[in-house]
Amino acid sequence: MLFPIITLLAILLLLNLTLLVSLNKLFVPENITSSYVNISIIVAAKNEEDNIENLISHLKSLEYPSEKYEVILVDDNSIDDTYNLIKELIISLPNFRVLTTNISHLSGKREALFLGIQSAKYPFIMITDADCYPDSNWLKSFSEKFNQGFEMVVGAAPFYQSKNLVNQISCFENLKSSFLSFAMWSLGLPYTATARSFGFTKKVFESIGGYSNTKDTKSGDDDLLLREAIKKKIKIGVVTEANSFVYSKTKNNFQDYLQQKARHTQTSFYYLKIHKLILGFWHLLNLFFLFSPFLMILNPLFGILLPSKLLIDLLVTKAMQMRFSYNFSIVDILYFQILYEVLLIVHLINSRFSEIKWK
């Protein structure tokens, strides 16, 4: 029995080391040139009167020539004062404009994004959300990737960290998913993107049929668009440079948090088969280690697995958390790691039985 247990530990350790080394390769600083491409930033906004002013403030403060980018804010049938507030805030900003959308055949926020993309005057498209705060070099870093020939580019999108429990859970989940997804990018196996920091050429968007093949769920305007790009063998890049992140706040209560996670989890059902197999193996392996103490009734040696896993998780998390602007203590990491694994099951069940909404 000792040999199988040691083998399992070796597999888990090797996988974590591979992912960690791969992740670190992405964070080698790049020299950003001053050759800026023309970019259209598209934002879908629905009932965002509490957030839109901060977003506009960050977008107009980007370190990027104002004549080289435009911002298209698309009001998605808001019932608050989002539209009027946007009009007031951008009145003196010639490279900003606002559009409105109506209900159509597209579900979720795709209609708003599609309208913005169709209205864009520049060949390079950037997507972010209305409750986000892009760093100053956000456009610069994406422009560099576009200059290198990448046709679709994904950036990091961490949450602001606070002491609120829902916030801490969300931040830890974001950290773990960022670790896995960016490491997989480095290994040439991209499977997820985030609409908070996402870019592509207008030509590529049209070549993959826009959002027409991404209507599997109400969410997925980012992940499923990436899926279609992978099918077409589009050249895809990732941005990790300093001051290139897009930050946002987490949900404030468990109900909103669970709804958001259900939406994201449901999208993962429609990943490519190879990605579902890899992610399924990874999560099942970790869950096996988590629940391994129950197997001690068969053999006490199973008691080695969970402490060993938590030690590996602790070391890996400590080694990479600052990459994504997080700071968890040793106790926090151990506590939230266990909770993270349990919540994976909760989100899976919730995504099957809850009603998924865009807003």
Half-sphere CA count of 26, side-chain side, radius 13 A? 25
Q: What is the CA radius of gyration of the chain?
A: 21
Same domain, 66 and 145: yes
Find out whether 239 and 154 touch, Cβ atoms under 8 Å: yes
Closest CA to 171 of 184, 191, 185, 157: 157
Cα–Cα dist 289/293, whole Å: 8
Cα–Cα dist 312/285, whole Å: 14
- The dihedral sign for the CA sequence 150, 132, 328, 243: positive
For residue 106, what pLDDT is reported? 47
Same domain, 19 and 137: no
Amino acid found at 204: V
For residue 64, what pLDDT is reported? 95
Q: Give the range of the structural domain holding residue 322, as residue numbers without chain letter.
A: 2-23+272-353
For residue 93, what pLDDT is reported? 96
Query: For residue 256, is pLDDT > 70?
Result: yes
Same domain, 202 and 281: no
Query: For residue 350, is pLDDT > 70?
Result: yes
Average pLDDT on 135-163 reads 95
Find out whether 266 and 275 touch, Cβ atoms under 8 Å: no
User: In this structure, is residue 186 part of a structural domain?
Assistant: no
Query: For residue 33, is pLDDT > 60?
Result: yes
Average pLDDT on 336-357 reads 88
Same domain, 47 and 15: no
Q: What's the CATH number where 77 sits?
A: 3.90.550.10
Same domain, 216 and 137: yes
The alpha-helical segments, DSSP class H, found in the chain are 2-26, 52-60, 82-89, 110-119, 138-147, 165-186, 202-207, 223-231, 254-268, 273-290, 305-320, 330-353
Return the exposure string of 193-217: e unless at least 16 CB atoms fall within 10 Å of the residue's CB, then b.
Answer: bbbbbbbbbbebbeebebbeebbeb
Across all residues in the chain, what is the average pLDDT? 92
Same domain, 210 and 93: yes
Q: Which two tokens stand for residue 99?
A: 């559009």
For residue 74, the cross-strand partners are: 44, 99
Quick one: how far is CA 60 from the chain centroid? 23
Q: List C-alpha distances in Å: 203 to 42, 90, 126, 206.
A: 16, 28, 13, 5
Helix, strand or coil, per DSSP, at residue 339: helix
Number of domain units in the chain: 2
For residue 279, what pLDDT is reported? 96
Maximum distance among all Cα pairs of the chain, rounded to whole angstroms: 72
User: In this structure, is residue 216 part of a structural domain?
Assistant: yes
Query: For residue 354, is pLDDT > 80?
Result: no
Cα–Cα dist 11/285, whole Å: 9
Span of 165-179, 211-225, 294-308 with lowest mean pLDDT: 211-225
Same domain, 210 and 331: no
User: In this structure, is residue 29 part of a structural domain?
Assistant: no
